[in-house]
Amino acid sequence: MVPCGDEKHMHQMTPLLFVCGVILISPTLVQADLDTFGRNDSQQCDVPVDIGPVSMADGGVNFTIALLLDGDVVGWGSSTSGQTDVPVWMPPATQVVAGGRHVIALLEDGSVECWGLNSHGQIDSPNSLSNAIFIGAGDHHSAAVRADGSVLCWGGNEYGQSLSQPKLMNATAVACGSRHTLALRSDGTVLCWGDNSHGQSTPPEDLVDVQAVACGGYHSVALKSDGTVVCWGRNNKGQCNSPDGEVFEHIAAGQLHTVGITTGDVLLDWGDNSFDQQIPPELIFVEPSHVSCGAYHTMVLSAYDGACCVESQCHVISQPSCVNQGGQWHGAGSSCMECDLSASACCVSTGCSITSSEICLELGGNWLIEGGTCDDCPSICIADVNGDLVVDIQDLLSVIAAWGSCP
């Protein structure tokens, strides 16, 4: 199905199903700023309490995968096919998507890493794949957009969802449904191939100005540049009945439901709710920034503000902004009362930093009284005569100037 704005994943249960990845931030889950709800038979909605800040998340049939801000990938829920067993050797990723029971991670160098179920070769990425910029995953197939705008697919192809893709040279994104694939082109048009049993591979003839796409199990979703949402394909649960008059910024799709974030930062959903995968009314999200779906569960990531402690200053900002400033974020809804603003010089064997007494103690340093500066730290090097933490010609001149002065 597809995470908010980067719509791209689908998954299968039994029979074949699509899964929509969703990311949520809950005011009560301040450590990860990720909340999930819906079907939880394999604990796919039980976000680990000890994971770091989340950048994006996606879901499969009965598991969830998350990309952290530092590029690490974490998974939870069912791992019967190894779908949550993230390779320990994997370098930082820039995007992660979940198929039915497999995962694809896009790495910084444009290569991909795949793991999980391989019943149809869905994790056997072609040797020719390089310079990837966007990825997608379906029940049993996978896809990638390369920097030249071409699309490469692999895995299951019983409905032509993998090997029947047209020769594209202007694709910018890709989304995978249960057994069909969508490509968004740079001119704002959409191209579909694969299973069309419910019309999911036949977009409306007048569909133009598209900026994002998503795939459910057997339905497709497009977000236009004016914020309107267009859905087509299977509609047995109302998953294609997008709200009239709403202007959206992001979209995502699950097996039988669809979710979007409006320009007013409101989460709206439609379609199946048999597992409470639609937004619970008691959950309030402030500035939701990303939404995605598993087959029958939803995830929301929010830009909800909290206290950010940066040296001797505090700002109430979102978690990503805090991390970018090198600060310590205390969670959604926290205040500057959480910050220890009594920063001072911490003298350690490798240099000096301005920090709190607690952090200095953890570093094994000597914390000067509040207000101390690094100039107050003693030299850490016997050759650093003038104490500027650099051994250079100035130190030699100091020695020469004092030549013969010692008794």
Tens digits of per-residue pLDDT, 180-205? 999 999 999 999 999 999 999 999 99
Find the mean pLDDT for residues 287-312.
81
Top-confidence residue, 50 or 121: 121
Adjacent-strand bridge partners of 298: 293
Asked if pLDDT for residue 178 goes beyond 60, the answer is yes
Residue-wise DSSP of 301-327: EE--EEEEEETTEEEEEEHHHHHHTT-
* CATH number reported for the structural domain that contains residue 230 in this entry: 2.130.10.30
Q: What is the pLDDT of residue 171?
A: 96
Find the mean pLDDT for residues 143-154.
95
Torsion of CA 116, 43, 175, 25, to 10 degrees: -130
Q: Is residue 362 part of a domain?
A: yes
Mean pLDDT across the chain = 82
123: DSSP letter = T
3-state secondary structure 324-376: HCCCEEEEECCCHHHCCCCCEEEEECCEEEEECHHHHHHCCCEECCCCCCHHH
Residue 363 pLDDT grade (very low, low, confident, very high; cuts 50, 70, 90): confident
Examine the fold and report which residue of 286, 303, 320 is the final residue of a domain before the chain moves on: 303
What is the number of structural domains in the chain? Answer: 2
What is the extent of the structural domain holding 222? 34-303
Residue 216 pLDDT grade (very low, low, confident, very high; cuts 50, 70, 90): very high
Find the mean pLDDT for residues 46-66.
89
**Residue 68, token pair as written in the block:** 């952290």
Q: What is the pLDDT of residue 141?
A: 97
Burial degree of 299 (CB within 10 A; 0-12, 13-18, 19+) = buried
67-103 confidence digits (pLDDT tens): 988 899 999 999 999 999 999 999 999 999 999 999 9
Same domain, 244 and 366: no
- With a CB cutoff of 8 Å and minimum separation 6, the contacts of 114 are 102, 103, 104, 105, 122, 123, 124, 125, 142
Same domain, 284 and 360: no
Q: Which amino acid is at 26?
A: S
Same domain, 105 and 208: yes
Same domain, 43 and 55: yes
Q: What is the pLDDT of residue 9?
A: 34
Q: Is residue 105 part of a domain?
A: yes
Same domain, 180 and 260: yes
Find the mean pLDDT for residues 134-148.
97
Residue 339 pLDDT grade (very low, low, confident, very high; cuts 50, 70, 90): confident
Q: Of 267, 357, 277, which Cα lies nearest the Cα of 312?
A: 357
Q: What is the pLDDT of residue 167?
A: 83
**Residue 169, token pair as written in the block:** 């040279």
125-136 confidence digits (pLDDT tens): 999 899 999 999
Top-confidence residue, 392 or 111: 111
Find the mean pLDDT for residues 114-123.
98
Examine the fold and report which residue of 303, 324, 359 is the final residue of a domain before the chain moves on: 303
% of the chain residues with pLDDT over 90? 55
Q: Is residue 399 part of a domain?
A: no
- Distance in angstroms (rounded) separating the CA atoms of residues 150 and 131: 10
Find the mean pLDDT for residues 246-260.
96
Q: Is residue 7 part of a domain?
A: no
Asked if pLDDT for residue 337 goes beyond 80, the answer is no
Q: Is residue 387 part of a domain?
A: no
Same domain, 149 and 278: yes
